[in-house]
Structure 1
Amino acid sequence: MKPKGRVLSILGVLCLLMSLVGACGDNPTATPGATTSAVATTVATATTAPASTTVAASATTASGTATTAAAATTATNAGGGNSEAVLTMICGLSSTWLRNFNPFTVTARIPTLYGIYEPMMIYNTVKGELVPWLADKYTLSADSKTLTFTLHDGVKWSDGQTFTANDVVYTFNLLKNTAGLAGTALTAMRGNDAYVESVTAPDAKTVVFNFKQPFSPAIYDIAAQIIVPEHIWKDVTDPVKFTNENPVATGPFTQVSTFQAQTYQIDRNPNYWQPGKPAFKGIRCPAFSAADQANLELAAGKIDWAANGIPNVENVYVSKNPATNGYWFPTTGGIVTLDLNTTKKPFDDPNVRKAISMGINRQQITSVAVYGYVKPADVTGIADGFPQLKVADPATLGDWTNFNTAKANQLLDAAGLKKGSDGIRTMPDGSKMQFKINVAATFAIHVSAAQIIVQNLKAIGIDATLAQADAATWRDRLQKGNFELSMDFPSATNFYAAYRTMMSAATTAPIGSDALGGNYGRYVSQKGEQLLKDFSATADPAKQKDLARQIQQVFADEAPLIPLYPSPVWYEYNSSRFDGFPSKDNPYVVGSFGQIAGSAEPLIVLTNLKPKG
C-alpha cells in the first residue's frame, strides 16, 4: 500500500555522518541540521507513517517548486506471524543495566531513543528524505525565519492521553530552560548561538518556531528532537537526574515488562498510533560487557538485530547460516577521529596537529583494526556522504592525512620540539612529549586503532600510552576536556552540522563543563564560524556549494582534529525469526541503530518487522 502523500527529498545536503556502536558502544548525542529551499516550502506527507510501504518522494527545487522524484524502495514484509514474539537486540555494551529511560541524558540509547520516544520527522539517510512521523508536514517561510509543523492526528501517549502541540512546545522549552539536558535541538534552544526565539502552539495540531535570524539548516535540529509528554514531565523536580523508570511515550514499545541487571524487556505500546503496529510483542536487551562477548551470541543465533563491528564477517557470522544471517556495512558514515585537547600545549599549534596526523599510518589502521572495510580519511574531515558539497579532490586542500614520518619530524623540529637522547621530544617547558590516549576499553576497534597509533608515534618522538576506561568514563573525559588525546567518532546529519561539531564555539564548553555539542577538542575557528554563519543564512545551492568549499579549506588549513577513517555503519541481522530487515538488496533505510546522532531510522525498521510463524 502507498502512503497518501509525499516525503521531502533533500537535494542540497543528503547523507548522514555515523558513528560506531556495536564495536564502539553507545552514541554520544550530537546535533544535526540540514538545508532547505530559500523560498516557502511546504511538504505534504502521509496521513499514516510510512513503514512497510513504497514511499513516493518529492523534491523541492531552488525555486520552491515541488517535483516528483523516484519512488523509494519498498520494504518487504511477511504477513501473519507470532504476535507474541520478542525481538532480541544488542542495545549497547554494558556489564549491567541501570533502569534509566530518560531520553535527555547523553548516554540515552535504543530503545529509549527511537523505540520508546519519537520525533516529529525521521531523516532516511539512504533515500535522503524526511519521513513524516509525529508531524505530517512542515513549512519553512521564504525568509527562513519561521518553521511550522502540522502534527499527525490521532496520536496518543502510552497512558491514553492525547498528544498535542503543547507537548512539543513544552519539550523545546524544557531544553531551553534546563541546563544539562541533551538533545538534537540543544544548540537551537540554548547557548550563545541559540537561534530559536520562540515556540508556540496556535492550535492543538500546529507548532510554530520563530527564529532570531534566518537559519536554513533548522529543520533537522528541530524535526529530529524526541518529544516528551508535558503532563508527566511538568511535575519532574530535576529533569537531568530523573530516571524515568516507567516511561510514558508515543513510541511502538513503552511498557517495561521485565528489568534485571542482565536483561530487560520493553513491550508494545497499548495505544500506539499506527494501526496494527508493532507486529510483535516486545524488545529484549541482554547485557554484554564487551563486543567480543556480544559477537559470540550473535554468531550462535541468539540475536536478531545488532550493530557490531565483526572481523571477517562472512566467515565469523554469515557462514554459520547463510540463509538467515546477513549484514550491511555502508561506508557513508561518520569519521573516526583522534581528538586533541587544543587548550593544552603543544596541541594548540596547527603544525603540531598536522605533524601528529602525518605520523599515523592510516592504511595500517584500516587494514588491521577495521578489517579492510574502509579506506583512510582525508583532510576534509568528512566521509563521502555529502557528494554535492564535498570537494572532488581533497588532496588539493592539503596532504597532512598522508603517512609521512619524514615531514612529520620536520614540522615538529620547526616547532621547537627537539628529540632527546632517548628519542622522545621535549616541549619548551622541559616536559617530555608523553601523552595518554583516552579510549573506551569496550570499543575493540578503537583500542586496536589506538595501539597502532602508539607504535606509529614513536617514530616521530612522541611517547603515547593508552588510558583505557569504561565507556562512561571515556565519555566523561571527552565531554569535560579531561584528556590529552582521545579516540572519538563525531556524527551529524549533514554537512553544516558536521563542521559545527568540529570547530564551532556553539558545540563546545569550557574545560570542566560538558561539551554536549560534541566539540570535545575545544577548537574554535574564527574563519570557520563566519563561513558556517554564512552557510546557515542562505539556502541557495550555488552559494552553499561555494561556502562548503571554503569551509573544507579552513578545516584543511587549521586541522582542528585528526580524521582517521570513515566509520562503517555496522549492522547485522538474523532473519530466522523476523522478516522485514533492510539489506544490501533491499536498502529501504539504514539498518544500524544507536550510532546515528539525531536519526530515528530504527523506528522505521521496528515498524516494518514482522515475526515468522
Structure 2
Amino acid sequence: MEMQWMPRRLLVMGMALLSWGGLAGCSKSKQQEGTAPGATAAAAKKTNVLTVAQEAQASWIRNFNPMLAPGTARWPSRSGVYEPLYVFNTLKGEYVPWLSSKYEWSEGNKKLTFALRPEVKWSDGQPFTAKDVVFTFELMRKHKALDLFAVWSYVEGVQAKDEHTVEFALTRPYVPGLIYIAQQPIVPEHKWKDVEDPVTFKNENPVATGPFTEVKVFQNQVFELGRNPNYWQKGKPAIEGLRFPAYPGNDQANLALLNGELDWAGNFVPDVEKVYVSKDKENNHYWFPLVGNTVMLYVNTTKKPFDDVRVRKAFSMAIDRDQLVRVAMYSYTKPSDASGLCDAHARWRNPAALAAGAGDWVTLNVDKANALLDEAGYKRGEDGVRVGPDKKPLRYDINVVTGWSDQVRAVQIMAQNLKAVGVDATLKTYDFSPYFERMQKGEFDITIGWTSEEPSPYYFYRDLMSTETIRPVGELAARNWHRYANTEADALFKTFETTSDEAEQRKLADQMQVLFVNNAPAIPLYPNPSWGEFNTRRFTGFPNAENPYAKLSPNSPPENLFVLTEVKPK
C-alpha cells in the first residue's frame, strides 16, 4: 500500500510559489473588479481585520471547498473555515485536541475511536455530530479525488457509535494513518448531502465550524472573511476577520509587506533584517524556524553511476554546504547532517547513526570525494572530466525551477563544486510543470527537490527508501523520485506501522536513520525554514522564538489554526 503524497507536494509547491520566489517575474494584472490591494489594506486598517498574504494569485476565484487540494480552494478553507478532529503541532511534537477531545487505539491498533466535543455547532447553529464525520469520510470513499491522502487504502469502515463518538475500523494496523484521519477537514451533512458533485462544488457560502466562516467581501482583487457567530471556543477569535488582497507573485507580496500593508505573511524575503525589520524595528518581525522540509539533491539511482553508494557519497562530499547556506539562503538555515532530518524531528535524531564518521559524507572533503570516485572506477579524462568503464563522461544537468532564485543560486554553486571532482554539471531550468513531471517520472539525472513534513521520521524515510513507493521510470511517482529501495528499511516501516508505543517507534526510527546514513539514497543539503513575518502595529499574539507555541507560517494548514485563534488586536 502506498500513500498518495501528491496533494502534500502540491501544498508544498503552493508554499514555494511564495517562499521560494517562484513567481518573481510575474507582472501585476489589471484590476478587474473592486479596489487595488494597497487601498483595500488601508481600508482594513480602520477595522479589526487581519490582512494576510498566503496565496500567489492575480485574481481570486470564489471556492471554499475544503475537500479539494490546497491551491484550488481559497485559504484558509482547510483550517480557518473548516476544522479537523485534531491538529498536529510540529514545534511541540504533539497532537492537539480540536473538534475531538480524545482519541484511542484498540484491537491491536486496528480500531481508532474519537470522542467529539458536544459544545461544537456549525456556523448556522446546527449541532455538530458524529454523523458529520461519517458523512465526510463516506464522501471520500465515493469520490476518490477527495481522498487526498488515500485513507480508504487502510480504512475499512467508519461509524457513529453515538452522537459524539466515531469509530474507524482499519484493514490492518496502521498507526501512521492517524495524521490523515485526524487532520481531515469535516463538512456538514445537512448542507452537503444534496450536493450533486462534491469534486466540482465551489461551496461559495460555507457553513463550517471554524473561527472565520462568513464571506463579507468577495471581489476579483480582494476577499474578506468574518467571524463565525457560533464558534465553539468561547472568546475566540479575538479579531473580527481576515482580509486577502490578491498578489500575483512574491515580489508584489513582499512590496506590500515592506509598505506595511500586511499584518501576516509567509514569504521568502532576501536579507530580511535589512529589508524589512530595519524599516520599523518595533513592529516588523519575522521568525524562520528550521521546521520546514529538507532541501535535497536527488540523483537517479536507476542510472549509473548513481546506483553506486560511493558515487552518491562522493558527490555529497564535493558540495560546500556552508557556501550554499551563506550565499543561496542568506544564512537563514544551516547545513544538513547525514540523517537528513530537519529540526521538526530533532527529538528523533539518533547520535549513534552519525557516530564513528558514518555521517561524514555531508562534510566538504574534495580529497576523499576524488578518492571514492577513483575507487568506483571513474577516472579523469584528458579534459579533466571523469569517465566510467562504459567510456561515458560524468556530464549532467541539474534540474531546477525557473525563477526559484534561492534554488537557482544553490544549483549554480553545486555545479561549480562538482567540477573540482571531475564532474561536469550544468544548471538546467524548467517551468514548474515540466520540472515536476520529469521529477515524478524519474526522467532526470540530478534534480534539486524537497521532502515531506509529516509528524515522524517514518514518513520521511519511507518516502526515500521504501519499495512500496517505487515506480518504473516513466510512470508518475508521488514520492521516491530518485527510485531507491531498501528491503531492510521495508521491514522497519512495517513494524512501525503496527505500534503506537513511542519507545518502540523511537527504536525503529533509530534503525531507519542508520540505514539512510549508511546508504545515502539521496543527498540532504539544508533544512528549509518555515517562513513567517508579522507586524505588531495593530495585532499581537503571534508565535515567535520567545513564545514558540506554534509555527508562525500561514503556509501549513491546519497548524495555522493555532495562530488564527490566538492573535489579538493591540
- What is the TM-score with the length of structure 1 in the denominator? 0.77
Q: Secondary structure at the match of 1:368?
A: helix
Q: Secondary structure at the match of 1:89?
A: strand
Match of residue 321 from structure 1: 280
1:507-541 Cα offsets, whole Å, 9 max, x none, are 5655555544x433333321111112122323444
- Identity fraction in percent: 48
Give, in whole Å, the separation in 1 of the partners of 2:497 and 2:306.
29
Quick check: 2:21–2:268 contact (8 Å CA) kept in 1? no
User: Residues 179 and 458 from structure 1, CA distance in 2 versus in 1: closer, same or farther, beyond 3 angstroms?
Assistant: farther
Alignment of 1:134-213 (within 5 A): 134-141=99-106, 143-158=108-123, 161-176=126-141, 178-181=143-146, 183=148, 186-190=149-153, 194=154, 196-213=155-172
User: Residues 466 and 127 from structure 1, CA distance in 2 versus in 1: closer, same or farther, beyond 3 angstroms?
Assistant: same
Find out whether 1:533 has 2:519 as its counterpart.
no
Match of 1:523 among 478, 484, 491: 484
Q: Secondary structure at the match of 1:113?
A: helix
Report the CA distance between 1:300 and its aligned residue: 1.8
User: Residues 106 and 572 from structure 1, CA distance in 2 versus in 1: closer, same or farther, beyond 3 angstroms?
Assistant: closer
Report the CA distance between 1:222 and its aligned residue: 2.1
Match of residue 86 from structure 2: 121
Find out whether 1:546 has 2:546 as its counterpart.
no
Alignment of 1:31-42 (within 5 A): none
Report the CA distance between 1:140 and its aligned residue: 1.9
Give, in whole Å, the separation in 1 of the partners of 2:181 and 2:472.
25
Q: Secondary structure at the match of 2:529?
A: coil
Match of residue 560 from structure 2: 602
Match of 1:335 among 267, 273, 294: 294
Quick check: 2:128–2:188 contact (8 Å CA) kept in 1? yes
Give, in whole Å, the separation in 2 of the partners of 1:382 and 1:475.
23
Report the CA distance between 1:246 and its aligned residue: 4.7
Quick check: 1:156–1:163 contact (8 Å CA) kept in 2? yes
Quick one: which amino acid aligns to residue 85 of structure 1?
Answer: N
Quick one: which amino acid aligns to residue 368 of structure 1?
Answer: V
Report the CA distance between 1:380 and its aligned residue: 0.8
Match of residue 57 from structure 1: none
Alignment of 1:6-45 (within 5 A): 21=16, 22-24=18-20
Match of 2:425 among 455, 464, 477: 464
User: Residues 549 and 574 from structure 1, CA distance in 2 versus in 1: closer, same or farther, beyond 3 angstroms?
Assistant: same
Q: Secondary structure at the match of 1:409?
A: helix
Give, in whole Å, the separation in 2 of the partners of 1:350 and 1:93.
40
Match of residue 465 from structure 2: 503
Match of residue 305 from structure 1: 264
Match of residue 78 from structure 1: none
Quick one: which amino acid aligns to residue 136 of structure 1?
Answer: S
Bigger shift: residues 153-162 or 376-385: 153-162
Give, in whole Å, the separation in 2 of the partners of 1:400 and 1:419.
21
Report the CA distance between 1:347 and its aligned residue: 3.3
Quick one: which amino acid aligns to residue 490 of structure 2?
Answer: E
Alignment of 1:430-441 (within 5 A): 432-441=393-402
Match of residue 373 from structure 1: 332
Bigger shift: residues 256-265 or 292-301: 256-265
Give, in whole Å, the separation in 2 of the partners of 1:173 and 1:482.
37
1:370-390 Cα offsets, whole Å, 9 max, x none, are 222322111111124434431
Give, in whole Å, the separation in 1 of the partners of 2:432 and 2:355.
35
Give, in whole Å, the separation in 1 of the partners of 2:440 and 2:223.
28
Report the CA distance between 1:261 and its aligned residue: 5.2
Give, in whole Å, the separation in 2 of the partners of 1:290 and 1:498.
30
Give, in whole Å, the separation in 2 of the partners of 1:254 and 1:472.
33
Alignment of 1:335-414 (within 5 A): 335-392=294-351, 394-396=354-356, 397-414=358-375
Report the CA distance between 1:151 and its aligned residue: 1.3
Q: Secondary structure at the match of 2:133?
A: helix
Match of residue 569 from structure 2: 611
Quick check: 2:21–2:251 contact (8 Å CA) kept in 1? no
Quick check: 1:425–1:461 contact (8 Å CA) kept in 2? yes
Give, in whole Å, the separation in 2 of the partners of 1:512 and 1:526.
23
User: Residues 453 and 107 from structure 1, CA distance in 2 versus in 1: closer, same or farther, beyond 3 angstroms?
Assistant: farther
1:340-374 Cα offsets, whole Å, 9 max, x none, are 34344443433332222222111111111122232
Report the CA distance between 1:259 and its aligned residue: 4.5
Report the CA distance between 1:603 and its aligned residue: 0.8
Find out whether 1:291 has 2:250 as its counterpart.
yes
Report the CA distance between 1:84 and its aligned residue: 4.3
Report the CA distance between 1:202 and its aligned residue: 1.6
Alignment of 1:576-591 (within 5 A): 576-591=537-552
Give, in whole Å, the separation in 1 of the partners of 2:427 and 2:95.
41
Report the CA distance between 1:503 and its aligned residue: 2.2
Match of residue 454 from structure 2: 492
Quick check: 1:198–1:209 contact (8 Å CA) kept in 2? yes
Find out whether 1:90 has 2:90 as its counterpart.
no
Quick check: 1:117–1:249 contact (8 Å CA) kept in 2? yes
Q: Secondary structure at the match of 1:323?
A: coil
Match of residue 44 from structure 1: none
1:147-188 Cα offsets, whole Å, 9 max, x none, are 1101122434445554332332233344445444464xx254
User: Residues 535 and 395 from structure 1, CA distance in 2 versus in 1: closer, same or farther, beyond 3 angstroms?
Assistant: same
Bigger shift: residues 559-568 or 483-492: 483-492
Give, in whole Å, the separation in 1 of the partners of 2:433 and 2:564.
27
**Greater percentage in helix:** 2
Match of residue 69 from structure 2: 105
Q: Secondary structure at the match of 2:398?
A: strand
User: Residues 119 and 564 from structure 1, CA distance in 2 versus in 1: closer, same or farther, beyond 3 angstroms?
Assistant: same
Alignment of 1:251-270 (within 5 A): 251-259=210-218, 262-270=221-229
1:55-89 Cα offsets, whole Å, 9 max, x none, are xxxxxxxxxxxxxxxxxxxxxxxxxx999433222
Quick one: which amino acid aligns to residue 301 of structure 1?
Answer: G
> Any gaps of 5 or more consecutive residues in structure 1?
1-17, 27-80
Match of residue 5 from structure 2: none
Bigger shift: residues 89-98 or 353-362: 89-98
Give, in whole Å, the separation in 1 of the partners of 2:317 and 2:392.
22
Match of residue 524 from structure 2: 563
Quick check: 1:577–1:611 contact (8 Å CA) kept in 2? yes
Give, in whole Å, the separation in 2 of the partners of 1:554 and 1:467.
31
Q: Secondary structure at the match of 1:386?
A: helix
Q: Secondary structure at the match of 2:348?
A: coil
Match of residue 454 from structure 1: 415
Match of residue 186 from structure 2: 227
Quick one: which amino acid aligns to residue 92 of structure 1?
Answer: E
User: Residues 483 and 227 from structure 1, CA distance in 2 versus in 1: closer, same or farther, beyond 3 angstroms?
Assistant: farther
Q: Secondary structure at the match of 1:217?
A: helix
Match of 2:97 among 123, 132, 153: 132
